[in-house]
Amino acid sequence: MKLNIFQKIAFLIYLSIILLICVYFVPYQGIQNNLDFMMRHYKTTSSYHSDILNDGYGSMSYLRFLIYLVIPTLSFYFVCKYLNKMNSIESSSYKKMAKRELYFFFVFIGAIIGTILFSYGNNEYHKIRKDTLKNEILKIENLINKVEEELLIIPLPESNVDEFGIVIKKHPFDLNEAYEIVEKKSESTSMKKEDVFKEGKEVVTDKDHNLIVSELRNYAKEGATDDELREFKYAFVKAIINKKRELNKQNFELKLKEILFYNKEEIENNIILLFFGMFILLYIIRPLFSMFKGMLKEVN
């Protein structure tokens, strides 16, 4: 028997239902370890549904699986018989109805495929983004750990000797030297292009410069030695740089926490709910509505 377009659409829907059953609704039954088995020393027999290739505990309930397959198969048989009447309708009406049914079928299949692609695509995209953020956090942690190597510590002021051989010691505090340490920091390895994060550059700003100079001036007035000034500059710049890096790290960690994944159960539930929701709407409620509308038309 040659199938008309309506019967072919019904057959494709029937195949999609069978596929859904084989992927999500194959019944199994078996012995499963109880959660507190170590305490109670017993196992429980339980039933569950999985895909037809499931290799977990238990065995397939063949009778139940057969019932699951028989119900849509019988439904398809009677629907196919009912749709035989479409062969006798006028050609223009047939084509018009066929186009409409094809449109609804594509909406039905498209929505399901779209949901599957979105669910798994979303997880894959977020997995890549999660790995990227973890790498960025690791880079920042490495930079924080290597700050000792990155900072250029200004050596102790060297003694100068005048033309008569008299040693003239440099002033323990030099404004230009205070700027020099942050300028050298800005040119250090941590400022290479690959280590500059999009969320904020590792730069000691003008405000930081002024703060360092102000603090160094006050520290020098208190009689700080060359060693103390040098260590102060080192510690101060280190604190500023690490603070900026910690803020970037916290920003990445916050974004990492905001990443949401669909687990396997959520994906299955979304696909199943959408499938049956679209099926009921398009192929049960819609025909019933058309039938009711036709009945009202005949009465009027």
Residue at 108 is within a domain: no
Question: Is there a single domain that holds both residue 207 and residue 145?
Answer: yes
- CB of 245 closer than 8 Å to CB of 140: yes
- Residue 101: pLDDT over 90: yes
Question: Is there a single domain that holds both residue 79 and residue 1?
Answer: yes
- Letter string b/e over residues 2-39, b meaning 16 or more CB atoms within 10 A of that residue's CB: eebbbbbbbeebbebbeebbeebbbbbeeebeeeeeee
Average pLDDT over residues 86-98: 91
Cα–Cα distance for residue pair 107/282, rounded to 1 Å: 9
- pLDDT band for position 95 (50/70/90)? very high
Question: Is there a single domain that holds both residue 143 and residue 79?
Answer: no
The range of the structural domain enclosing residue 62 comes to: 1-88
Question: Is there a single domain that holds both residue 250 and residue 163?
Answer: yes
- Residue 196: pLDDT over 60: no
* Tally of domains in the chain: 2
- Residue 179: pLDDT over 50: no
Task: Give pLDDT, residue 192.
Answer: 42
Residue at 263 is within a domain: no
* Confidence (pTM): 0.64
Question: Is there a single domain that holds both residue 144 and residue 233?
Answer: yes
Per-residue pLDDT tens over the stretch 211-234 = 766 776 777 677 777 677 677 767
Question: Is there a single domain that holds both residue 143 and residue 82?
Answer: no
Task: Give pLDDT, residue 40.
Answer: 53
Residue at 251 is within a domain: yes
Question: Is there a single domain that holds both residue 157 and residue 248?
Answer: yes
Q: Which of 4, 12, 3 is nearest to 98 (CA)?
A: 4
Residue at 39 is within a domain: yes
Per-residue pLDDT tens over the stretch 238-295 = 777 777 788 888 889 998 888 888 888 889 999 999 999 999 999 999 989 988 888 8
Residue at 254 is within a domain: yes
Residue at 146 is within a domain: yes
- Residue 158: pLDDT over 70: no
**Regarding predicted confidence, which is higher, 52 or 33?**
52
Task: Give pLDDT, residue 100.
Answer: 93
Q: At what angle do helices 91-145 and 226-258 cross, to 10 degrees?
A: 160
Average pLDDT over residues 93-119: 93
